[in-house]
Structure 1
Amino acid sequence: MLLTSYFLAALAIALAWPTPLALSKAKWTTRAPVQAVLLWQAIALGGGLSMIGSMLVWGLTPLGDDLISAIHGSWRLLTGDPTVRYPGVVHLFALSTALLFGFHLVLTLIRAAWRTSRQRAKHRHLLRLLSNPSETRPNTLVIDHDMPVAYCVPGISQSVTVLSRGLITQLTAEEQQAVISHERSHLDQRHDLLILAFTAWNEALPWLPTSKLSLEAVRQLIEMLADDKALEKVNRQTLLKAIIAVATAAADADGVSGQRNASNAEMVGMPGGEVSSRRLQRLLTPVAPLGWASRYLVLACTILLLVCPTVLLVAPRLLA
């Protein structure tokens, strides 16, 4: 089990620093955003499992040759079996660290989910006071604002899309369709849950620079996925005009206020719709999608990152 612990520790280090750094600079991700998002999730989950697993396996080494036998040995130790070898201070420290770290990750996720749900509830309350239902679009609210603004508010029972009067009056019908299709794709594909998971990961490990890097990379990929969905309804030029109109209005608002304020979308736990250079470049000069062989290779790496730590936790003898 010691060899397994060393391997999991090495995997955790690789997934915590060099791998996210390399993936954030990779150019193929814009050609296959779905596979890239799945790979980012696998890196986060595999890294967490490896960090916890390396300490857990190390701590359970005196109690058994694998996780099942070690749990059985722990139970025998608690029931007072004198034949079970008592773990030393170092092993107890490793076990305590693994349990505390796992509890910390779960608690951070629960806290982030609770905070986000409260923010959305407050935001829905304000919308009920300051907006009117759209007469032509279901599950859509219109706020009386001169700036072109569009965002979505996810919900368990019913999600809504929020549009401003300025967006309806300043954008053409096709540009409005582009914006609405973009925002509703966030709701249909539940991007809010993905953002929530990476936000919690960033809050749980603020000292790890790549946790913030992962969050920003996933936000960009989600915007690209929403752009692809919008391109099924409108042409590329129309989508670009709509994106630039909304982004320019948001930038002007930030300039007037003199500070960088969080958008409404970010407040309710959704991507802020940032117009990054990679996103614009992808729309201005489209490239061919990633080949099927490369896609399957990325999927294979994704599955391997999830399966490898899980299998080694249950059966560490496989590594030997």
Structure 2
Amino acid sequence: MIVASVLLAALAVALAWPVPARLSRAAWPARAPGTALVVWQSIALTGGLSMIGSLLLFGLSAYGDDPITAVDALVSVTLAGRLPVGATIFQIGSLTFAFLLAGHLVLNLAATFIRTERQRRRHLDLVALLSDPVPGEPRTRRLDHAAPVAYCLPGAFRSVTVLSDGLLALLDENELRAVIEHERAHLQQQHALVLLSFRSWGNALPWFPIAHLAEIAVEALVEFIADDKAREVVDGRQLASAIAIIGSSGSTSGGPPDVDSPAADLRVDTRVATTRIKRLIDGPPQLSSSSRVAIRAAAAALLLTPAAVLLSLIMVA
């Protein structure tokens, strides 16, 4: 199990910096944002599983030569209130840290979800009180605010797209339709849940540089995905025009700062907004279907690697 632990540790280290750092600088994600999002999710999950798995296997090596025997011995020895013969402080510490890390990540995810859901419910109540329905646009509310604002508020049982009077005054009918379709794409594809998971990862491991890098990359990708979904209904140039008009208005507001939801174009930084406009007007063609399939297959294989290592240990035993 020591060899397997080292292999998983090496994989965890690779996924902790060099691989995601290179992915964040690559040009192809903008051409296939959905596929790139799958890759980022695979990197995050595989990195976490590899890190915890490496610690677990190293710690379990004190209890046996294979995972099944080691887990059985761990239960027996723990219930008896003693330590295995020959166990080192590093093995016991590794096992303890693995359980603590896994618990920390799970509890942080649960806490982030609960806190975010409470904030969303409170904000949905405020929106319902302070805004009016937009005629002909279901689940869309008009907010009496001079700044150009558009954002979506997802919820378990209700969700809305919020538009301000300032936004409605700036955009023509086609540009407004483009913004609405962009926001609805966020809601339909549950981007809030994706962002929440990466935000939780960053909150749980604030000292982990790749967590912040991943969050930034994923925030940009969900905007690209929503843009692509919107231009299935409207001309991409209309959405690009809306982004440019809103950006040139001088407003820096967007979705509510205390609500973890993908908001409109105004919350995206200038660099991402510029990239979005270029993609919508004269961006390079999307990756070929074969390239997207190959990348997704590689992401799936990466995700299965920790399980494959564990399964190989069990089969050898």
TM-score (ref. length: structure 2): 0.91
Listed as ranges, the matches of 1:47-126 within 5 Å are 47-80=47-80, 85=85, 87-126=87-126
- Can you list the C-alpha shifts for 1:76-133, whole angstroms capped at 9, x where unaligned? 2234499964633221100011011111111111121122112112211221221112
Distance 1:67 1:306 in 2: 20
Do structure 1's residue 270 and structure 2's residue 268 form an aligned pair? no
Tell me which residue corresponds to 1:7: 7
Contact 1:265 1:271 in 2 (8 A): no
Contact 2:148 2:246 in 1 (8 A): yes
1:55: how far off?
0.5
Matched residue SS, 2:62: helix
Two-structure CA RMSD over aligned residues (Å): 2.2
1:54: how far off?
0.5
- Can you list the C-alpha shifts for 1:26-76, whole angstroms capped at 9, x where unaligned? 111111111100000000000000111111000001223332222112122
1:166: how far off?
2.2
Tell me which residue corresponds to 2:291: 294
Distance 2:83 2:98 in 1: 25
1:246: how far off?
2.4
Tell me which residue corresponds to 1:202: 202
Which ranges in structure 1 are unaligned for 5 or more consecutive residues? Answer: 255-260
Which ranges in structure 2 are unaligned for 5 or more consecutive residues? Answer: none
Matched residue SS, 1:64: coil
Higher-RCO chain (CA-CA 8 Å, sequence separation at least 6)? 1
Moved over 6 A (4+): 81-84
Contact 1:17 1:210 in 2 (8 A): yes
1:317: how far off?
5.8
Tell me which residue corresponds to 2:31: 31
Contact 2:244 2:277 in 1 (8 A): no
Tell me which residue corresponds to 1:146: 146
1:265: how far off?
5.0
Matched residue SS, 1:158: coil
Tell me which residue corresponds to 1:44: 44
- Output the amino acid matched with 1:2: I
Tell me which residue corresponds to 2:251: 253
Distance 2:83 2:102 in 1: 30
1:319: how far off?
9.1
- Output the amino acid matched with 1:206: P
Do structure 1's residue 165 and structure 2's residue 162 form an aligned pair? no
Equivalences, count? 311
